[in-house]
Amino acid sequence: MLALAVLVVLVHPIAPLLREPYWLDESWVALATKAPLADLPVVTSSTPVGWTFLVWLLPPAGQVQRLVPWLFLAVSAGLGYGLGRLLDWPRRSTGVVAGLCAAAAVALLPAQQLRHDLKQYTADAAVALALVLLLAWAERSWSLRRLVAVGAGAVLGMLLSHPAALVGAVVLAAMLGAAAWSRQRARLVRATAVAGLAGLGMATIYLTVDRANRNDHLIDYWDGYFPAGAELPQYLHRRLEELQPALGLPWPVFVLLAGAGVVTVAWRRRPATAAAVALLPAVAVAGGVTRSYPLLDLRTSHFLLVLAAAIAGVGLVGVAGLLTGRLRRSPAVLVAVVAVAAAGYGLANRATRITGPDEDVRAQVTYVAGHHRPGDLILVNMSGQYGFAYYWPANRPEFVRGGVQATGWYVRYRPEDRIIVAADRDHTAVAAALDEARRLAGPGGRVWLVRSHVQPAEAAVWRDALAGWHTDLVAVGPEPVALIAPG
């Protein structure tokens, strides 16, 4: 396990996470740390409320919140080890090799190397692995205690991960199927009771928390990942081609290894676990076709990619073990084959950690905070409001449900704070914000203009709207701050 921990730290260093500023999609998540606990159901938006609560527990200081997704990533590698190790291998050493191979696949997967942002996707992967691991553990004896652990895991997973609904459903279905197949009445009754209560708990969390934050703007955002049934074959091929760089292998090879992993899991006396893993892609497809959950997006399907990588690691050991057994080679040959494959995969997919989009509202806020005078006004564009509110050291905003953003909420300030936030990116909203700034600033007043995540169309709107203003741009990073005054 020490070797695994070293691998995770080497492949996923922490220092860059704490250094790079938040961009738009992260900043509204980080801003939850400044929200009252009572506002958490509002600001959690499309993020699972339990995950947001973990972020909320950390102080609003720098980028420390990125430790939450990093920790889930590290945990997922450990869960991958547990999944490979827990199978019924003929030798303990083979189980250790399988665990290390699955863990290495999870840690080295290029999709994991991209997930350095303050989002819940590494938690999605960890929860998926944990639920499958719980099922494999329960399959050793099917005691009531283990059945309850699986059911409780499915319910608690809903608080940390939205796709836990998909994974939990297939895990509970596999548990019920195994009980029915056993033809043991007492076991079937216990499994049915546990699955029923777990399903009720999952439905309660969805209806009371998750559904409230599902809005039309969010559905429109993911529209391209909801395929029609007739176009499904072409859609799957296109999306898998797009995902191939995140897999680190040609996608057919990745799928074949994952398939070998499913067979290996069943072969190693975990048929219910194998059935759950095999059923999950079909459930994910159904979720996409019914417009319930985006299908094969790099972020929202991260759980599927990581789970498949872990299973592919198990499949590699299964295939290598079968070949070395037939060739009557020593177990050391198996270890060597797996080690070479894992090392080659890691070297082929080594990557420098990337940063987010080319935006830095932190630099703008720092400059304004250092040059702001009493009586100055601050105007923030719609997309910059979250990052500004997080990094601004003074006035705390109010959190309001509504607005045109996919988050389903926006921030506003008291009149005495002298901070204006544009309500939209269009000409009407920008002109209204500038008119309010002109009125409040008065003759000779100064207005600091903070803009972030500005798209070309919005940039043109601001350029036209500022035609009657004196504008001085200050280069403080990739996004300049502006000091403007009414003309």
pLDDT tens-digit series, residues 356-366: 678 999 999 99
For a pLDDT cut of 90, what percent of the chain falls above it?
76
Q: CB of 52 within 8 A of CB of 40?
A: yes
- The pLDDT of residue 348 is 67
For a pLDDT cut of 70, what percent of the chain falls above it?
94
423 Cβ contact list (under 8 Å, min separation 6): 382, 403, 404, 410, 429, 432, 433
From CA 27, how far away is CA 384, in angstroms rounded?
Answer: 9
Across 28-40, average pLDDT: 93
29 Cβ contact list (under 8 Å, min separation 6): 47, 52, 55, 65, 118, 119
Higher pLDDT among residues 310 and 355, named by residue: 310
From CA 225, how far away is CA 211, in angstroms rounded?
Answer: 19
Segments making up each domain of the chain, as ranges: 2-20+63-348, 361-486
pLDDT band at 266 (very low <50, low <70, confident <90, very high): very high
Architecture of the CATH domain 361-486: 3-Layer(aba) Sandwich (3.40)
Mean pLDDT, the chain, as a whole number? Answer: 91
- The pLDDT of residue 45 is 84
pLDDT band at 88 (very low <50, low <70, confident <90, very high): very high
Residue 174 clears pLDDT 90, i.e. is over it: yes
Half-sphere exposure of 291 (CA within 13 A, CB side): 11
pLDDT tens figures, 196-210: 999 999 999 999 888
From CA 102, how far away is CA 83, in angstroms rounded?
Answer: 8
Ranges assigned E (strand) in 330-380:
377-380
The pairing of strands 481-486 and 447-450 is antiparallel
- The pLDDT of residue 334 is 66
For residue 187, with 0-12 CB atoms within 10 Å meaning exposed, 13-18 middle and 19 or more buried, which class applies? middle
Which of 200-204, 324-328, 346-350 is the most confident on average? 200-204
pLDDT band at 353 (very low <50, low <70, confident <90, very high): low
pLDDT tens figures, 438-455: 999 888 889 999 999 999
Residue 259 clears pLDDT 60, i.e. is over it: yes
**With the C-alpha atoms ordered 381, 387, 392, 397, is the resulting torsion angle positive or negative?**
positive
pLDDT tens figures, 389-401: 999 998 889 999 9
Single pTM value for the model:
0.92
Residue 218 clears pLDDT 60, i.e. is over it: yes
377 Cβ contact list (under 8 Å, min separation 6): 418, 419, 420, 437, 440, 441, 445, 446, 447, 448
Q: CB of 160 within 8 A of CB of 206?
A: no
